[in-house]
Amino acid sequence: MTRSTGSGASVRSRARRSRALGRLVFLGPGLTYLIVLLLIPLALLISFTVFRRGRFGGIVYELTAENFTRLFDPLYLGVVIGSLRLAAIATLIALLVGYPTAYLIAQLPQKWKTIALVAIVLPFWTNFLVRIYAWIILLSGPGLVNSTLMDLGLIDKPLELLYNQGTIVTGLVYSYLPLMVLPLYAAIEKLDPQLREASANLGAGPVRTFASVTLPLTLPGVLTGCLFVFVPSFGNFIIPELLGGGRSIMVGNLIRDQFLKSRDWPFGSTLALALIAVLIVLLLAQAWSARRA
């Protein structure tokens, strides 16, 4: 009604004002929150990488490149490479276990499919620390694994199952396996079964069909799953600390220690930046290959 009484120009300016108001009301609060509590903290971290540490923690605002040169110190570079290695092994194991599992779930009747999927996700929704703790109970000297092996007469005295790199990998696979199975399942589920039949009819064996039909078509799911496992594994500091016994430390522990123990914020920020850089490279690689697929 107001609309018909106003002149064309005033209607347009009112519409523009109401659009601006809409933007302010809907985008304003959330974006302000993200700028203050996400972008400013990240900008602080990034700016710290070029400054010197204070003698008692904190920052001295003198420009320096020493944080970056320290990054290539064999001691720290070794930790970064070691973390990449452990995260990669965990990702590979999760893929090798997760792929056949997801493949079989996709073939189940609808009712069992839902149950099987919920059963995969269920442990993931339980407290992270509780799941890690469960492994300490299971793998400790007098724990179930050792006592079973001894009862079977396979070993005479308990094995040292806890506090080594294998334990860390076990913890990582256990924690993030559901994140591998879900995208794999989504990719396999979408696959047209007729393609596999066609391949079989044309004389390809199961291995050939898998290698040249199933695997290439589910590759985006494979990459997503690998990313979902690798990313939280690489920056993890709880699993190495609780299951690795502090002897083999990962880049996450190193970053944590820079902030809470040695109070070297500039170097801690530089390590965090390196962590993000690795993850960005991986995300870009994944986006690139997804677009090609």
Partner 1 sequence: MRKSRLLYVPFWATYVFLYTPIVVLVVMSFNAGDSPYVYEGFSLEWYGTLAKNAAIREGLVNTLIVAVGSTVLATVLGTLLAVGLARHTRSRALDALGMLPAVLPDLVLGIGLLVFYATIKSTLGLHSVLLAHTVFGMAFVTAVVRTRLTHADTSLEEASRDLGATPFTTFVRITLPQLAPGILAGALLAFTLSIDEFVIAFFTAAPTTPTLPIVIYSMVRFGVTPEINALATLLLLVSFTAVIVTQRMTRLTESLS
In whole angstroms, the minimum distance from the beta carbon of 75 to partner 1 comes to 20
Contact stretch for partner 1 (CB under 8 A) within 65-73, 83-91, 97-105, 218-226: 97-105
88 scored as a contact of partner 1 (CB under 8 A) = no
CB 49 within 8 Å of CB 270: yes
Interacting residues of 165 by C-beta distance below 8 A, sequence separation 6+: 86, 244, 248
Site for partner 1 in 184-213 (CB under 8 A): 193, 196-197, 200, 206
- Which residues ranging from 250 to 289 are in contact with partner 1 (CB under 8 A)? 252, 255-256, 259-260, 265, 268-269, 272, 275-276, 279, 283
* CB nearer partner 1, residue 21 or residue 74: 21
Radius of gyration of the chain (CA): 26
Q: Which of 50, 52, 66, 101 binds partner 1 (CB under 8 A)?
A: 101
Which of 103, 189, 245, 282 touches partner 1 (CB under 8 A)?
103
Interface residue with partner 1, options 10, 69, 107, 262 (CB under 8 A): 107
Stretch that binds partner 1, among 5-13, 78-86, 211-219, 229-237 (CB under 8 A): 229-237
Q: Does residue number 225 form part of the binding site for partner 1 (CB under 8 A)?
A: no
Q: Does 40 bind partner 1 (CB under 8 A)?
A: yes
Q: Which of residues 155-184 bind partner 1 (CB under 8 A)?
A: 174, 177, 181
DSSP class per residue in the chain = -HHHHS-HHHHHHHHHHHHHHHHHHHHHHHHHHHIIIIIHHHHHHHHHTTEEEPBTBSEEEEE-SHHHHHHTSHHHHHHHHHHHHHHHHHHHHHHHHHHHHHHHHHHS-HHHHHHHHHHHHGGGGS-HHHHHHHHHHHHSTTSHHHHHHHHTTS-SS----SSSHHHHHHHHHHHHHHHHHHHHHHHHHHS-HHHHHHHHHTT--HHHHIIIIIHHHTHHHHHHHHHHHHHHHHT--HHHHHHSTTTS--HHHHHHHHHHTS--HHHHHHHHHHHHHHHHHHHHHHHHHHHH-
Count of residues binding partner 1 (CB under 8 A)?
89
Min dist. Cβ of residue 58 to partner 1 (A): 8
Position 11 contacts partner 1 (CB under 8 A): no
Q: Which is nearer to partner 1, 4 or 74 (CB)?
A: 4
**Toward partner 1, which CB reaches closer, 32 or 289?**
32
Q: Which is nearer to partner 1, 138 or 219 (CB)?
A: 138
118 binds partner 1 (CB under 8 A): yes
**Binding of partner 1 by 131 (CB under 8 A):** yes
71 binds partner 1 (CB under 8 A): no
Q: Answer for the pair 172, 236: CB distance below 8 angstroms, yes or no.
A: yes
